[in-house]
Each structure stands twice: as structure tokens, then as C-alpha cells.
Amino acid sequence: MRHALTGHGASRGNALGRARVRLPHALEVAEEHVAADAVEGEIRQLHTAIDAVRVEMRNMRTRLHGALAHEVGEFLDLHTLLLDDPELLQGLDDLVRKGRYGADYALRLQRDRLAAVFEGMDDPYFRSRVEDIDHVIGRVHAMLHKREADLQGVAGEILVTDAIAPAELSQLQAQGVLAVVTAGGSALSHSAILARSLHLPLVVGAPLALQQVNDGDVLVVDGSSGEIVVEPNAADLRAYRGRLREEKRERKQLHRLRREPSRTLDGVDIRLWANAESREDVTGAHALGAAGVGLYRTEFLFLQRSELPDEEEQFRAYRDVVLGMTGRAVTIRTMDIGADKADRTGLALTNEPNPALGLRGVRLSLARIDVFRTQLRAMLRASGYGPLRVLVPMVSGREEVLAVAALLRDVARELRSEGHEIAEHVPLGAMIEVPAAAIALPTFIGSVDFISVGTNDLTQYLLAADRGNDALGELYSPLHPAMLLLLRNVIRTARARGKPVAVCGEMAGDAALTPLLLALGLEEFSLHPATLLEVRRAIRAQRLDALRAAAPALLRCRDRDAIDRWLRARAAPA
């Protein structure tokens, strides 16, 4: 019987298919003991399964490119590290040897032990990591029984589940899944961001879905509105086909914008930079007419390996990006290791009590000055092949900026004395991700050449809301009055000193928020190539003078609802 459910649209697109319901994960196995002479064989089985899962995840990691490598890779790296955790491995061995438990039940007991430790922690970041433990243990359990994990057999279907991990999404798409509906989650989570990059329809926050959808039900899913129709009628099917026709028309319109300027109706040109971390991203940015690369992530050179990349390896990677943009500027961010980015080189600290507030970004770089110096040498050498800018993450104040600027000058002198051809001036920029840096910007704006605002972390730290924590999905939002005031002040401070300022977080790639950012004074966006044309279209539909005149009304908004109303009033006609 037809009925409708509502959630939050997290990734645009429409899908029609049969439901496949995956209930919340629970490793339910009966207690089983093994004979004394079977203990070592049971342990070998466990280790063989763990080794096989390691290989599986390593192979998945090597197949990832671009946005997938960034978003999925972080989680695969984290899960691989969990498999190497001595606490997990030794605990499993002890349970089998001392308790003579079967491998299945040992997995269950060890999962429960670790989950209890994490759930008992005060830090919400660590409490949310129980999901990662379940994911890893589930993979080992599936491998132990020589069967595939739960995500097989979804081709042509719509997955309905409690939550979805980023590492699962690429598998789902490869297997032919049409859309995903989750009972929890946030439209600004890692999974939602990745779903948008994959163009995979996703509806989150639909708590009744698990109760009211059965395996085999026909669903229509609208990833824009968040509506789910169970057992659609003729009118629903007509509406669905109409949306598909509209999507096709929109794709044609966007394709025609590839060579058009990013210019407002009143003739103001807005610069659209591309975020990138692979040659594929750079190629896409070039083809779409991006002004340059506004954020090139370097973490991929450091993660999922046992040794640090040397100067030559880094130099070749940075040089190739510069050459790929054929004269358009490339902004290379220094290593942002730490927090939830798994690292096997020993560079980042392990077991930090609160990684998100720990030794990461520029803090780690300045603590490991030898590694940082090598990276800066590679960057400056690449500057001899085309315009290059250096961007420093997680800046919190003036001292860090001055320290990096001094080191950059010292490295430049050293390279010139060695006979290397480098640019006469390599611009230095600071990422504004920490509220303290946003507030104290006037104290160091004179020491940098440009500013880039990372709205993902800035929102998280400003609101004290972990964007990876589903329980805080409604709280974590850049559409908060305090966030808008902070953005306005950062943009105003930078422009008053004649310094370019861009937004490189998720806000920049959301075309629905383009009028808001323009109204606040932003004239440079840095975004994933997949969303560049949508933002270009949004820019071309607006008058900048009208938006700037409406900025005071925006800044007077007292809550999210008022900001949403302001945006709806200025949305471009379809």
C-alpha cells in the first residue's frame, strides 16, 4: 500500500527500485568452545581472515582516485590500522588460547570489549568510533566464513539501512546500487559529501524507514527533497519520470557552461578554483575552465605507507600538477596529518586523547621541522615550472605564520644557492579553520599573501559539533548566525588589506549557498570539479549589487530558519 516517508535530501538525484533492508549490525553468534588440540588451528584461521581483509582493503585503496581517494581512503586507512591494533589481535589470541573460544565467539567478545571502552569515553569523537569497530569485525567475520560482506546483491536496488560508512559507498555504486536511505546521519557528514561526489542519491535522517520499508518494496527516492514513496502509484511514477527529464535537461544546460565565464548578471567576474588531489582532478579542473587549483591536498603522499616520501617523490608530484594547469596557479596545501587521518609512518602521534584538537596540520609540521623542510623544498622546486602558492592548514595564530614564512625564506635561499630555478616569489597563504585564527586575523593578515577558509572544520570547532557524529547532525551546520558573522568578518578583514580570500570547504561547492557567500563579499570559491558548473550557473543567475544590498538582512537573521528563508527568497528560478 502506498505511503510516503520524509528525510533530509543529502545527495541529489532520483531513483526507482526495489528496497533491500539492512538492519543495524549485530554480531550474534552462539558461545562455542574448541578442544585443546584445535586452539592453534582456530588462531590460524582468525589470522588468515584478518590478513585477507587487510589485502582486500589495500586493494580497494589502490583503486581509488580523486575525491574517492580523499574521502574513502581516510576510512580505509583507519580500518586498516584497527586491524593492526595489538589490543585487538592479542585479545583475540588470548580468548582462543585461554578461554578456548571458537573464532566466531572470540570476535564477538573482543568486539564487545572494545566497544564498551569506546562508549565509556567522554569524547564524542571516540564514542562514534564504535561504528568503525563493527565495520572491521564484520569484515573479518565474513572472511572467516568465506562469504562476502553484507553489501553484496544490491545491483538495481535501493539500500535502506541505519547508517552508511564512506568506505561502503564506492562499493555500493560499483555493485549497481541506485540510491541509499538511512535512518540517521547528516547531510554534511563524510558519507553525504562522498555521495554527492559519486552522484549517488542519498536521503538521511528518515527514522521510520527501517520500520515501514520491507525487502522487495518498490521505492521512489528523491535525493533533493528527501521524500521516499513506498509502493508508488501512477501519479508518483509520472512525477518520477518528469524529474528524470528535468535532470537530463539540466545536464545539457550545465555542459554548455563549460566555456562560459563565471560572471554575475551585473558583470562581476567571480573566480572558481578547483580542489584536487590527483591528476584526474587536475584534468577535470582544466577542462571546466577553473581559474586554477585552489587546494591541492598532499596527504595522499604520506598515508597508507610505512616510510616518508622523499624530496624527489614529492617534487615530481607537485611539478606534474603545476604543469597540468598550463600556467594557471596551483595552491598546494602542506601536509594536514592527524585527527582521523591514519598514518603508518610514525609521523602523527598515536593514542592522542582528542585527535581533532591535537598535533595536526601546521602544528605537526613545525614539530617535525625536518619533514616540513623537505616538503617545502619540493614545493619551491616545483614553482620553477609555473605559478605555485603554498597554503598552511590549521593555523591558530601569528606565531605559526611567522615561523612558516621564515622557514620558507630560508629554504628559498638554500635552493638558490644550490642552483635550483625557483619562482622569485611564492605566495604564502593561511587556512582559516580555527575560530581563534578567524578572530585574530588582523594580527597576521599582513604576513600572508592570501586566505583560504576551510568551512568544514571552522563550523565544527565554532559549534563544538563533530560532523562525523550522527547524533549532532542537526546541530552541525554552517547556516548558523555565528558562522555567518565570522565569515563576513574574515572576508572583510582580508579585502580591506587587499588580500584575496577564498572559501574551500563544502559550502563553496553547494550552489544553493552561492547567493549567501556572494552577499557576504566572497569573490573566490574553491570547490570540487564535480560541482563547479552548478556553482557557475548559480553565479550567472545573480546580481551582485542586489545581494550585497541584502547582506544586512542576512546578518540580522537569528536562526537557521530565518537564514533558510533569506536563501529561498534569492534562489534562482529553475
**Residue 368 grid coordinates:** 617535525
Q: Give ∠ CA 294-297-303 in degrees, rounded to 5.
A: 175
Cβ count near 366 (within 10 Å):
16
Q: Alpha-carbon distance 333 to 108, whole Å?
A: 42
Give the contacts of 353 (CB within 8 A, at least 6 positions apart): 123
φ, ψ of residue 123 to 5 degrees: the values are -75, 120
Q: Alpha-carbon distance 492 to 293, whole Å?
A: 23
**Residue 388 grid coordinates:** 605555485
The answer to whether the beta carbons of residues 265 and 546 sit under 8 Å apart is no
What's CA 347's distance to the chain center, in Å? 22
Sign of the C-alpha dihedral computed for residues 355, 359, 362 and 365 taken in this order: negative
- Cα distances (Å, whole numbers) of residue 67 to 73, 297, 340, 529: 9, 11, 17, 10
User: Which strands make up the sheet holding 227-230, listed edge to edge?
Assistant: 3-6, 227-230, 218-222, 14-22, 157-161, 179-182, 202-204, 8-11
Q: Alpha-carbon distance 433 to 163, whole Å?
A: 28
Q: Which residues pair with 333 in a beta bridge?
A: 391
Give the contacts of 172 (CB within 8 A, at least 6 positions apart): 151, 154, 159, 164, 180, 200
**Residue 253 grid coordinates:** 544546460
Q: Alpha-carbon distance 105 to 89, whole Å?
A: 14
Q: Which residues pair with 11 in a beta bridge?
A: 202
3-state helix, strand, coil in the chain (%, to 5): 50, 15, 35
The answer to whether the beta carbons of residues 27 and 138 sit under 8 Å apart is yes
For the chain, give the number of residues.
574
Look at the block and give the residue holding cell 565467539.
Answer: 105
Q: Alpha-carbon distance 277 to 260, whole Å?
A: 25
Whether 135 is a known active-site residue: answer no
**Residue 304 grid coordinates:** 597508507
Whether 190 is a known active-site residue: answer yes
Mapping DSSP to helix (H, G, I), strand (E, B) and coil, where does residue 345 land? coil
Catalytic pick among 190, 286, 480, 528: 190
Q: Alpha-carbon distance 114 to 415, whole Å?
A: 50
Catalytic pick among 8, 79, 504, 528: 504
Catalytic residue numbers? Answer: 190, 504
